[in-house]
Chains A and B, each alone.
Chain A
């Protein structure tokens, strides 16, 4: 508490309160893995697994079940460690403005993770999990308020907050990638980084598809009964190996949960009237449209989606081969080449959108008559107000509310308008 120190006395008129905080901690967490793996360090085998048994005998009469290893012993399993540093500052100026700032860094080591570079030749029947990864998250929290009574009936209260949080993979259990596949490494990226394909544009026609790298082991040429062709998304062969497969996935976009969240607003009051507004927003996030959820013409579990106007306005067709249309080739079936999410849990830049937005979250205009004015009606207090939530949103993404993420045809976020009267006798 710097402002309590002797040397600070001359400043206390301006700086009413000044406090610095710092914490450093080192904690372990044993809440790792899943509950079924309580005795993680031991191997576990199923001793009566019919799938791995065998049968012998002239009349196939002698049968014994087999043994399936569901976990290999790992005596080196240990808990996850986390080293945390927090620095904070509380400041109050002019008896009106308050500012709280927190900065933190959290470095986690021994993160339990499936080992990814175990080759098939190891012949393991269960995944190996080990304390291999390291990651770091850091961020800033800022909160500020401004309270002031200006006299003459004017008073105000303003507030704002800002959070920035990001993370970074420091060490990841992965193979050493060659120089042409360096992008496959996760080190240095956010822990929530999404990976996907780079969609270049749509194929002009089947011939182009046939003369391009084979995508996902499919057969090019829709006209010949192939699985993809003209009008479908053309992906970039990042490692130049002549095929599009999961080794062509790169880090794309921001994490799906925003790295920056902020809000601001306040209340201004003049005599009996008050007006308060609040805005909130987020930035540095991406989301991915779930294309199958909006695909028109496809019968999915017995129902069809209506045709969205954006698709009707911009789609690829034989007559109009718009290579950058919003929607690729229309089909009455899902085209696996285009909607990778539900097929393989993969995604691409084609469906990636900027998730930043600023929302006019709420506003309220109120009138509180003076007690003298309402006493003659037998009332002790009264408030008339007009309030609204979710008035507007500003975003680069126009198809639906960006806060709904990829599933655009879900139940939308509602705008609510109220007119109210509160009285007390």
Chain B
């Protein structure tokens, strides 16, 4: 009988072997030994900022109805829109199994420059950075003032990523401290927090960050684009505007939205004080931005002889596309609007190589009609100009030649419109002045010809075409040049403006209007924008200020159009068609006029 028992015991003298730390493997501690390494980690925290300058990753740009595309836009696989092969949001393809623009996990074009840039990963990186850099025994060559600033920047980013998720998903879990990777299931499965708690938490982070952020970037050559104090205050104002908006503020559809323990995740009732806060914080952001030298953009002129009309046009156009314009409170150089954005908005002004001017971004007629008349009022409110025959045609006369080519026959709706209409839209017969104007002036310059068989007409059956005949001029920098060598067009990119000063003005005006009615500052700040756009202010006698209250969001549109969707400022259900701010507002306010 054989009974064998084999016992293998671990050796006892392995200590020397196990103590060897390999010297060719970098561990997280290595990132926090020196300033040069820690700086990389700081930039890592920045790298997750959503790429809004790329139409594919900009969550609002193509997902709603501000911009319309061909059903199958060539070489543009955007999950926000969809193609014949992929279902997108705008074409009704949003679904839970493969959520489009999923910033939560970083898939389906949610957020970053590629997949994998889920914002929870960003938050974990921020927390790793904060844990290490707050420890004074680490990164010993980092000076205290710089250390304080870096901590403030990353604290801001942590708040911003939370804010971004909050905006997309409503109540979210809050990750203030990283959870250990070996934590048991009950610890890693964290719960969503009620909406108000999320807002207060994010607002608190921004309050921590703001005082230690620089008001102005002094080292423009290496640091422009980093976070400043006005940026932090602007995001705080946006956060509270979101909280005050009827979508989250006592939204009756979500009053019974509870988690599994019965905790109410949405505020139970409407709180008007949130508008007060939103107004207060927006004003604080404006004051900080203006103190830091931000002002409404003005075109500084050029050596060419240009008419006043064209100079005003350029002031309006370049407010968006000028690099580091004075009104760009926050522009992100990591996400620049280059070929991908501009070529898709550009009509073919000459027979340049197809594909260099892709023409796909089209403004729907609703947007076309939304711009004001030349008197600065909505076209159906203008008592002096009759727009009822808007789809008949007439010939342009000489006095209109800086807007529409003289003698060109085009639609009535294109005549007698506000300067912004001509600055932001291109259309059949419309002038598209650029730096490379063949005449070197704004006389006899580029004109869009967009009828069938013409250069910009919808003759390209392959998907480089414009659905409505209205091109989104706003996104294209005026320096885009047709090169002589017939190679097509060179576009001058610009850091995507995440926040512009007029955004803050409008946020302030909207919040103040909601909390106190159309008094004082509401009109002051609206008029600053109207004046820049070449319109008379609302405060002039003769204009009925009673009209203002319901229509601020509508008026916001013309300033922020084609940059992003302020979807969440409106309650979505019933009141908004599509998911655009251009839709209607609360029912009680819909009774205007």
Contacts and interface: CB of A to CB of B under 8 A. Distances in A.
Nearest to B165: A121
Interface in A20-45: 20-28, 38-39, 42-45
Contacts of B84: 225
A39 B10 contact: no
A53 B25 contact: no
A45 B31 contact: yes
B378 interface: no
Interface string B188-232: 111000000000000000000000000000001111111000000
B221 A45 contact: no
A2 B324 CA distance: 94
B124 interface: yes
Nearest to B10: A28
Given A23-B5, A123-B122, A54 B334 contact: yes
B479 interface: no
A243 B113 CA distance: 30
Given A51-B113, A57-B223, A66 B25 contact: no
A52 B333 contact: no
What is the size category of the interface that chain B forms with chain A?
35 or more
B179 interface: yes
A124 B181 contact: yes
A214 B555 CA distance: 40
A26 B96 contact: no
A225 B6 CA distance: 66
A56 B30 CA distance: 24
A64 B40 contact: yes
B513 to A, nearest CB: 37
A121 B190 contact: yes
Interface stretch (A69-77, A288-296, A383-391, A399-407): A69-77
A73 B180 CA distance: 10
A23 B1 CA distance: 12
A64 B223 CA distance: 12
What is the size category of the interface that chain A forms with chain B?
35 or more
Interface stretch (B43-51, B343-351, B432-440, B564-572): B43-51
A74 B6 contact: no
Interface stretch (A100-108, A112-120, A133-141): A112-120
Contacts of B185: 117, 175-176
B137 interface: no
B468 to A, nearest CB: 23
B224 A56 contact: yes
B299 interface: no
Contacts of B104: 120
B30 A123 contact: no
A45 B27 contact: yes
A67 interface: yes
A124 B182 contact: no
Contact of A66 (B7, B8, B44): B44
Contacts of A28: 8, 10
A122 B187 CA distance: 10
A245 B99 CA distance: 13
A243 B333 contact: no
B27 A67 contact: no
A263 to B, nearest CB: 28
A117 B179 CA distance: 14
A128 interface: yes
B189 A42 contact: no
Q: Which of B30, B47, B221 has the most CB of A within 10 A?
A: B47
Nearest to A21: B2
A46 interface: yes
B123 interface: yes
A130 interface: yes
Interface in A363-387: none
A116 to B, nearest CB: 10
B95 interface: yes
B544 to A, nearest CB: 45
A22 to B, nearest CB: 6
B190 to A, nearest CB: 6
B262 interface: no
A72 B124 CA distance: 12
Given A119-B189, A124-B124, A57 B221 contact: yes
Contacts of A51: 47, 113-114
A62 B221 contact: yes
A131 to B, nearest CB: 10
B25 A25 contact: no
Q: Which of B44, B98, B323 has the most CB of A within 10 A?
A: B44
B190 A65 contact: no
Given A58-B224, A62-B222, A219-B87, A122 B5 contact: no
A61 interface: yes
A24 B185 CA distance: 34
A24 B5 contact: yes
A22 B31 contact: no
Contact of A45 (B28, B47, B118, B120): B28
Contacts of B44: 49, 52-54, 66-68
A217 B5 contact: no
Contacts of A2: 1
Contacts of B334: 54-55
A123 B8 contact: no
A416 interface: no
Nearest to B126: A123
Contact of A55 (B22, B182, B333): B333
A62 B222 CA distance: 5
A125 interface: yes
A46 B47 CA distance: 15
B40 A69 contact: no
Q: Which of A44, A119, A122, A175 has the most CB of B within 10 A?
A: A122
B118 A74 contact: no
Contacts of A214: 95
A23 B2 CA distance: 9
A216 interface: yes
Interface in B302-354: 323-324, 333-334, 336
A118 B1 contact: no
Nearest to B4: A23
A37 to B, nearest CB: 11
B6 A123 contact: no
Interface string A232-270: 000000000001010000000000000000000000000
Nearest to B18: A41
Contacts of A46: 26
Nearest to B223: A56
B121 interface: yes
Interface string A205-227: 00000000010110100000100
A57 B5 contact: no
Interface string B97-108: 110000011000
Contact of A67 (B10, B41, B495): B41
A156 B495 CA distance: 90
Given A56-B222, A57-B221, A120 B8 contact: no
Given A52-B44, A66-B47, 20 more contacts: A23-B4, A24-B6, A25-B5, A28-B8, A42-B22, A45-B27, A53-B43, A53-B44, A55-B225, A62-B222, A67-B41, A72-B181, A117-B188, A117-B189, A119-B188, A122-B124, A175-B189, A214-B95, A217-B95, A243-B97
5 contacts: A20-B1, A23-B5, A47-B26, A117-B189, A219-B93
Interface of B: 1-8, 10, 21-22, 25-28, 30-31, 37, 39-41, 43-44, 46-47, 84, 87, 93, 95-98, 104-105, 113-114, 116, 118, 120-125, 128, 173, 175, 178-179, 181-182, 185, 188-190, 220-226, 323-324, 333-334, 336, 495
